[in-house]
C-alpha cells in the first residue's frame, strides 16, 4: 500500500517554495489608525523535496505584514537561513544548528526567531537573517520558544530543558536584553517542556508524562509514559532556586494561557490540557503515523489548575469542552489576573470547521467566529486599542488560510465581539503556522 502524504505537507500546511515581497496590499474595511507596526509569524516550512519525520522539524519560514497609517504597506516571507537550509555555510556548534521555526519575538532591540532545542537566530525588521544569537556569550544552553515578557518590569523570562541533566535551567534578561539570572532548577525530569508561565512573583514549570525516549524515531525523541505523573512546579522569582512541585491528574500541557495569583494567594494556571488519547492522536498527525486525524489538534480542552503553597494541595477543573489550542491573551495581563482568552477551535466537539474562540472565565461564555468551509485561522494575536481601558478593548490579528481560493488574508477582529474590522488580502496562500507577535513601531 502506498504511504499517505504527511499531513503537515498537505492542505492548509502545504509549504510554499519561494520568498516574495509585495507592496500596497488591498484592504477591505478600515484598518485602525493606531496599528503602526509589523505582524510577524513563524512556522515550519520544509524545503521542496524535504520530508521531515515530524511536523516540528520543518525549516523555519517567517511571514510579515507591515501596517501603518491605515495602509498595509507590504507583505514578505523569508526562510530563516540557518544550517538547516542547504548551502548555508556554518562552522558553529550543535546548539547553534536550529530550524528556528516556532516563534518570533522582539526584545532588547532584537528580533529573535526561536526553536526550543537551540539558540535563537536574529533577523532584521525586514526578516533577513543576521545570525545565531547567544546574549553576548551569556546563554550557553537552548532557549524556549515561549519566553514571557513581564509587562511591568520589561524583563524576559525563559528556560532551557534537556533530556540530560541539568534537565531545567531558568534565565532572566533585563529590558535591555542583558541576562541577569541563570539558575539550574532542581526536581525536574527529562520532560518535553514546550511552554511555561510566570506570575508577578513566580515562575511556573511543567513536567509532563511526555518524556525522553530513545525508541521514538520521528526526530522528536519523546513519548507518553503512564508511570510519569503530570507535575507543576512553582518557583518564587525573588532569587529562589527551590521549586515546590504539585502532582495533578495525569495529562499533558503543550501551551499555557496564563498564570496568576488569586485573592487567596493560590497560583492559578490555565491552558489546553491533553489526556493520553488526545495527545497520542495529535502525535500521529504531527508525525504522519497511520490513523492520524484531520487536524493537528485532536482534543486538548481548556483547563484550570489551582495550586495552594500554604497547604501543598492542588485542584483542577475543566473550563470548556471545545477542542482548542494556540491560546493567547492581552499580554498586558501576563502574570496577573485575566478574564478573557482566545484560541483556535478545531473540528470536533460539535464543530465541523475551524473557528476563533473567545473565552470568558467569569461567565463561562464562549464566543465563536466560524471562518467558513476550507478556511483555517491562525493564533489570534491581541493588540490593545489606543486609549482602551477594558481588558478586551483591542484587536485580534490572525492569518487565515483559504484552500478553496488558494489565498490568505490577515484579519483584524474586534477583540470584544470578534467582528471583522478589516481584511488584508495577502499575495499568496500562507501555510497554517505556529506563533507570532505584533511589534509596534516605537519598539
Q: Please check whether residue 431 is in contact with residue 45, taking contact to mean a CB–CB distance below 8 angstroms.
A: yes
Q: Please check whether residue 428 is in contact with residue 16, taking contact to mean a CB–CB distance below 8 angstroms.
A: yes
Strand pairing category for 407-414 and 375-377: unpaired
Q: What is the pLDDT of residue 114?
A: 97
58: which DSSP letter?
S
Q: What is the pLDDT of residue 112?
A: 98
Using the predicted structure, report yes or no on whether residue 227 has a pLDDT greater than 50: yes
Known binding-site residue numbers for Fe cation:
146, 194, 255, 435
Using the predicted structure, report yes or no on whether residue 32 has a pLDDT greater than 80: yes
Structural domain for 399, as ranges: 7-150+249-440
Q: What is the pLDDT of residue 348?
A: 77
179 belongs to a structural domain? no
Measured in degrees and rounded to the nearest 5, phi and psi for residue 95 equal -65, -25
Tens of pLDDT, residue by residue over 188-206, are 999 999 999 999 999 999 9
266 belongs to a structural domain? yes
Sheet with 156-161, side-by-side order of all strands: 148-149, 156-161, 168-173, 179-184
Q: What is the pLDDT of residue 443?
A: 56
Q: Please check whether residue 306 is in contact with residue 268, taking contact to mean a CB–CB distance below 8 angstroms.
A: yes
Q: What is the pLDDT of residue 1?
A: 40
Higher pLDDT, 298 or 200: 200
Strand pairing category for 244-248 and 230-236: antiparallel
Q: What is the pLDDT of residue 98?
A: 83
Known binding-site residue numbers:
146, 194, 255, 435
Tens of pLDDT, residue by residue over 278-296, are 999 999 999 999 988 878 8
Using the predicted structure, report yes or no on whether residue 88 has a pLDDT greater than 70: no
Tens of pLDDT, residue by residue over 316-340, are 999 999 999 999 999 999 999 999 9
Residue 76's alpha-carbon distances to 18, 22, 282, 443, in angstroms, are 11, 6, 31, 20
How many angstroms separate the CA atoms of 327 and 334, rounded?
Answer: 13
40 belongs to a structural domain? yes
How many angstroms separate the CA atoms of 277 and 46, rounded?
Answer: 28
Using the predicted structure, report yes or no on whether residue 219 has a pLDDT greater than 60: yes
Segment 294-302 shows an average pLDDT of 87
Q: Please check whether residue 41 is in contact with residue 52, taking contact to mean a CB–CB distance below 8 angstroms.
A: no
Using the predicted structure, report yes or no on whether residue 89 has a pLDDT greater than 70: no
How many angstroms separate the CA atoms of 157 and 146, rounded?
Answer: 9
171 belongs to a structural domain? no
Tens of pLDDT, residue by residue over 238-266, are 877 789 999 999 999 999 999 999 999 99
190 belongs to a structural domain? no
pTM of the predicted protein model: 0.96
270 belongs to a structural domain? yes
58 belongs to a structural domain? yes
Identify whether 166 is preceded by a cis peptide bond (ω within 30 of 0): yes
CB within 8 Å of 404: residues ≥ 6 apart: 373, 374, 375
Residue 11's alpha-carbon distances to 72, 79, 331, 368, 369, in angstroms, are 27, 20, 31, 23, 21
User: Would you give the end-to-end CA distance of the chain in angstroms?
Assistant: 54
Count of domains for the chain: 1
What confidence category does residue 366 fall into, taking pLDDT thresholds of 50, 70 and 90?
A: very high
Angle at 104 between CA 100 and CA 108, to 5 degrees: 115
Segment 385-404 shows an average pLDDT of 95
- How crowded is residue 236: how many other Cβ atoms within 10 Å of its Cβ? 15
How many angstroms separate the CA atoms of 145 and 384, rounded?
Answer: 23
347: which DSSP letter?
S
What are 138's three cell numbers? 551569556
104 belongs to a structural domain? yes
Mean of all residue pLDDT scores within the chain: 94
Amino acid at each position: 500500500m502506498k504511504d499517505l502524504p504527511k499531513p503537515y505537507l498537505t492542505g492548509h500546511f502545504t509549504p510554499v517554495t519561494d520568498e516574495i515581497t509585495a507592496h500596497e496590499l488591498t484592504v477591505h474595511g478600515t484598518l485602525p489608525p493606531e496599528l503602526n507596526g509589523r505582524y510577524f509569524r513563524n512556522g515550519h516550512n520544509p524545503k521542496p523535496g524535504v520530508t521531515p519525520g515530524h511536523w516540528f522539524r520543518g525549516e523555519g519560514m517567517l511571514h510579515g505584514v507591515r501596517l501603518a497609517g491605515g495602509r498595509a504597506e507590504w507583505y514578505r516571507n523569508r526562510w530563516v537561513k540557518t544550517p538547516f537550509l542547504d548551502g548555508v555555510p556554518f562552522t558553529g556548534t550543535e546548539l547553534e544548528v536550529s530550524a528556528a521555526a516556532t516563534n518570533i519575538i522582539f526584545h532588547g532591540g532584537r528580533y529573535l526567531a526561536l526553536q526550543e532545542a537551540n539558540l535563537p537566530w536574529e533577523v532584521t525588521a525586514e526578516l533577513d537573517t543576521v545570525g545565531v544569537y547567544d546574549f553576548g556569550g551569556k546563554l550557553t544552553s537552548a532557549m524556549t520558544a515561549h519566553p514571557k515578557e513581564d509587562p511591568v518590569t520589561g524583563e524576559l523570562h525563559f528556560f532551557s530543558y534537556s533530556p540530560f541533566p541539568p534537565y531545567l535551567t531558568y534565565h532572566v534578561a533585563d529590558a535591555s536584553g542583558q541576562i541577569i539570572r541563570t539558575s539550574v532548577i532542581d526536581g525536574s525530569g527529562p520532560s518535553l517542556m514546550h511552554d511555561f508561565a510566570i506570575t508577578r512573583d513566580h515562575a511556573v514549570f511543567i513536567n509532563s508524562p511526555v518524556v525522553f525516549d530513545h525508541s521514538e524515531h520521528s526526530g522528536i525523541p519523546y513519548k507518553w509514559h503512564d508511570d510519569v505523573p503530570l507535575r507543576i512546579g512553582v518557583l518564587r522569582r525573588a532569587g529562589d532556586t527551590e521549586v515546590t512541585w504539585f502532582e495533578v491528574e495525569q495529562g499533558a500541557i503543550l501551551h499555557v494561557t496564563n498564570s496568576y495569583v488569586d485573592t487567596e494567594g493560590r497560583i492559578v494556571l490555565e491552558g489546553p490540557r491533553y489526556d493520553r488519547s488526545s495527545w497520542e492522536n495529535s502525535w500521529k498527525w504531527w508525525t504522519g503515523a497511520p490513523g492520524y486525524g484531520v487536524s493537528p489538534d485532536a482534543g486538548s480542552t481548556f483547563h484550570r489548575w489551582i495550586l495552594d503553597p500554604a497547604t501543598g494541595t492542588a485542584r483542577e477543573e475543566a473550563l470548556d469542552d471545545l477542542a482548542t489550542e494556540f491560546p493567547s491573551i492581552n499580554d498586558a495581563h501576563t502574570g496577573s489576573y485575566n478574564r478573557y482568552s482566545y484560541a483556535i477551535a478545531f473540528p470536533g466537539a460539535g464543530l465541523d470547521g475551524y473557528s476563533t474562540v473567545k473565552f470568558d472565565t467569569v461567565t463561562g461564555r464562549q464566543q465563536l467566529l466560524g471562518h467558513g468551509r476550507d478556511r483555517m485561522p491562525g493564533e489570534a494575536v491581541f493588540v490593545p486599542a489606543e486609549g482602551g481601558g477594558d481588558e478586551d478593548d483591542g484587536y485580534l490579528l490572525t492569518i487565515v488560510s483559504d484552500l478553496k481560493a488558494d489565498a490568505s488574508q490577515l484579519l483584524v477582529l474586534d477583540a470584544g465581539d470578534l467582528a471583522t474590522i478589516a481584511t488584508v488580502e495577502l499575495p499568496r496562500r500562507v501555510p497554517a503556522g505556529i506563533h507570532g507577535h505584533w511589534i509596534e513601531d516605537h519598539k
